[in-house]
Structure 1
Amino acid sequence: MQLLAYIIIYPFLWLISILPFRLLYGLSDILYFFIFRVFKYRKKVVKSNLRLVFPDKSRDEIETICSQFYRHLCDMILEAIKSMTISEASMLKRYTFTNLELIHDLEAKKKSIMLMCGHYGSWEWIFILQPQINHKGYAVYKRLANKYFDRLVKRIRAKYDSHLITTKETFTILSESQKKGELTINGFASDQSPKATKALHWNEFMGIKVPMHTGAETIAKRFDMAVVFFSVKRLKRGYYQTTFQTITENPNDFEDYEITDKFFKLVEAQIFEAPQYYLWTHKRWKHRDKVPEQFK
């Protein structure tokens, strides 16, 4: 069944990916109508999240952010599909970096990098960073259930010489890279919700105490990696600008979870500036009523 689904769906994805951007975004507008107006995909979750973290915003303001978010979500879905066939030149034009010298400086210092981000703006196209730097690139991801689509996603990333690895593979692969003397840059989107029962750290995110992923901090300390945050600004439709910010070059100088807390503050700053570009469809605050006694 997995192969059959792939055989049926793949040609449609490929046809969408070769559309010029003008038609691609026209299709995104149609997709928005069905997802937001007709099927109302996770609309209750999105509005509940927005009301929770922005209690002072009016009903109309929440509705506006909600609508803008779904437009951006549909653009991102189509842009992810476009990644199948987009040229490197086009990607470099549409996804730019303000301060690549920060990465190059860390390379000169022989520092591997823990590259942290939130689900904000566009993280799908960050892989165009790889042709512009010398670090070996890894990104931690959750393996897709369909092994054929999983291979497709890996193949798309491999165009720019980046490698997707699962959480279970991370320590083994990075240990081997360290033994070989390789410099690596390792992408983690660390703002989503871990299982409450397994969380080692709880703190406030957007004013609400929640469990937090700490894996990126743990790995950075284990391999003495510089920790860098990247923020994404949407310039206009289909154009993004990324800026790097060093959290620390010496992670072991920080108390446990201090780096994680700094990361979440940086994610918050993006959200407050333009909330419509955050991924509101996830139930990020679902464990807020389960705070263990030691974290209250």
Structure 2
Amino acid sequence: MQFLAYILLYPLLYLISILPFRVLYFVSDILYILIYRIFGYRKKVVVSNLNLVFPEKSPDEIKRITKVFYHHLCDMILESVKSMTISESEMKKRFRFTNVEVVQDIENQNRSMILMCAHYGSWEWIFILQAYVKSRGNAVYKRLANKYFDRLVKRIRARYNSYLVTTKDIIPTLIKEKREGIISINGFVSDQSPKLDKAFHWNEFMGVNVPVHTGAEMLAKKLNMAVVFFKVKKVKRGFYETTFETITLNPKEYENYQITDIFLKLVEDQIHEAPEYYLWTHKRWKHRGQEPKSVG
């Protein structure tokens, strides 16, 4: 069944990927009507999340953010499909870096680094960074259930010397790279909600106490890697601007979870600037109120 789904859907995805951007966004507008207006995909989750973290906003403002978010979500879905065939020059034009020298300077010191980001803007297109650096790029991800689509996504990333590594494999992969002297840039989308049995740290995120992923910080300390946050700004439809901010070059100097808390604050600031581009369909706050009694 997995292969059948793949051979049925792959031609459609490929055809979408070769559409001119003008037509691609016309398809996105149709998808918006289906997802938001007809099927209401996770609309209750989105509105609930927004009301939870923005209690001061009026119903009209929540509705405005919701509608813009769903337009952006549809754009992002089709932009991900476009990654199958988009040229390097086109990608560079649409996903620009304001200060790529921050990453290049760390690379020139023969230091591996961890890039931390949130589900914000179009984080998927960060792989074009590999066109500006020499290091290997690793992106931590959860393996897709369909092995054929999983291989497809890996092939897309490999076009730019960027490789997907599962959460299970990332630790042995980075230890092996360090032992072999391989310099790498490792992307972590670190704002997800961890499983409760793996929640070692709780803190307020957007005013709500939640469990927080600490894996990126743990690896940075274990392997002495620099930690850099990248902030994505949506300039206009189909165009993004990314800015890097070094959190630390010396992670071992920080108290446990301090790096993670700095990251969370940066994400909060980014969301407050333009909340409509955060991934509100995630149940990020589902574990609120379930923290151990010893927390806080």
Interval containing the TM-score (normalised by the shorter chain): over 0.9
What is the Cα deviation at residue 108 of structure 1? 2.1
Q: 2:268 and 2:67 mapped to 1: Cα distance?
A: 20
SS at match of 2:242: strand
SS at match of 2:191: coil
The range that moved more, 106-115 or 271-280, is 106-115
2:165 aligns with 165
**Superposition TM-score, scaled by structure 1 size:** 0.99
2:227 aligns with 227
Q: 2:270 and 2:228 mapped to 1: Cα distance?
A: 15
- The aligned amino acid for 2:58 is S
2:26 aligns with 26
What is the Cα deviation at residue 197 of structure 1? 2.5
SS at match of 2:169: helix
Q: Write out per-residue CA displacement over residues 51-89 of structure 1, whole angstroms, 9 at most, x where no aligned residue.
A: 000000000000000000000000000000000010111
1:141 aligns with 141
Matched, 1:180 2:180: yes
Q: 1:275 and 1:157 mapped to 2: Cα distance?
A: 28
SS at match of 1:67: helix
1:237 aligns with 237
1:278 aligns with 278
2:196 aligns with 196
1:76 aligns with 76
What is the Cα deviation at residue 180 of structure 1? 1.4
Aligned pairs for 1:44-193 within 5 A: 44-193=44-193
Q: 2:8 and 2:109 mapped to 1: Cα distance?
A: 49
Q: 1:38 and 1:74 mapped to 2: Cα distance?
A: 14
Q: Which runs of 5+ in 2 are unaligned?
A: none
Q: 1:162 and 1:104 mapped to 2: Cα distance?
A: 16
Q: 2:32 and 2:104 mapped to 1: Cα distance?
A: 39
SS at match of 2:288: coil
2:6 aligns with 6
The range that moved more, 266-275 or 178-187, is 178-187
1:251 aligns with 251
Q: 2:292 and 2:172 mapped to 1: Cα distance?
A: 32
Q: 1:295 and 1:213 mapped to 2: Cα distance?
A: 15
- The aligned amino acid for 2:285 is W
Q: 1:38 and 1:202 mapped to 2: Cα distance?
A: 37
- The aligned amino acid for 2:263 is F
Q: 1:187 and 1:58 mapped to 2: Cα distance?
A: 36
The range that moved more, 45-54 or 107-116, is 107-116
The range that moved more, 171-180 or 262-271, is 171-180
Q: 1:187 and 1:165 mapped to 2: Cα distance?
A: 10
Matched, 1:212 2:174: no
- The aligned amino acid for 1:270 is Q
**Superposition TM-score, scaled by structure 2 size:** 0.99
Q: 1:107 and 1:165 mapped to 2: Cα distance?
A: 20
Identity %: 65
2:264 aligns with 264
- The aligned amino acid for 1:114 is I
Q: Aligned residues, how many? A: 296
- The aligned amino acid for 1:179 is R
SS at match of 1:244: strand
Q: 1:107 and 1:27 mapped to 2: Cα distance?
A: 40
SS at match of 1:295: coil
What is the Cα deviation at residue 15 of structure 1? 0.5
What is the Cα deviation at residue 212 of structure 1? 0.2
- The aligned amino acid for 1:139 is A
Q: Write out per-residue CA displacement over residues 128-170 of structure 1, whole angstroms, 9 at most, x where no aligned residue.
A: 0002101211000000000000000000000111010011111
- The aligned amino acid for 1:46 is V
SS at match of 2:231: strand
Q: Write out per-residue CA displacement over residues 225-260 of structure 1, whole angstroms, 9 at most, x where no aligned residue.
A: 000000000111000000000000000000000000
The range that moved more, 167-176 or 19-28, is 167-176
1:292 aligns with 292
